[in-house]
Amino acid sequence: MPTKRLFAAAALAGALLTSLPLFAEPLNGQANTPTATLAPNLMGQLAVFAPAASLTQAALPAQPVQAKSKPSGWAIEEDDLDADGMPGDGVDNVASLANDTSDLRKTLISLAMKLRDIRYVRGGRDPSTGFDCSGFVRYVFAHAVGLDLPTNSASQFLAGLKVNRGDMKPGDLVFFRTAGKRGQGRISHVGIYIANGQFIHSPSRGKTVRVDSLDESYWAKRFAGAKRPDALARSS
């Protein structure tokens, strides 16, 4: 605001304050208080008018709102760091489940098989966009049996009951060390065991959800063990 307007606003405020005692009602019941005494009392009870300070505040730019820091979010797998030598295709003939397989395990495998051919997407966790390995496993367990698994293969490996290879059942989780050469790296891949040495998983970039065999050389060298999630352990 130009300087002339500031002076005009200040002069107007002064004129108003000077004329107020002529029209104001007596304060505190003091009907006979002289105008000369009333004016200072009234002045003290009015808010100080400081146009310059108000204008300065209004001219300041609005302070930016600090965005809340987002959680680290979904853990991203490194499934394809050592994809060299991985079979290009999965198995054609999928093993059948044994007749004594529990309904819970059948439900898991049934949903997993319906998700075949969905593409691999790093960090993916939904069929509409694609899956990485842990996203696929987590989706199947959440929607088939309502079990909320950890968000990546390494943390999924730490949960549940350890299972010997010869004792694996449909729905158990199988883990691999695909991030290093010949199975020497960390846990970096997970799939769902079906039967007869077969498992279903989302392998790596450029591939889709498919069934593979634990006996195939690539997977046999990188196999790290099997775990049985709590819900399955209780139903066994």
Residues noted as catalytic = 133, 189, 201
Tokens of 78: 């490194």
78 CB neighbour count, 10 Å cutoff? 17
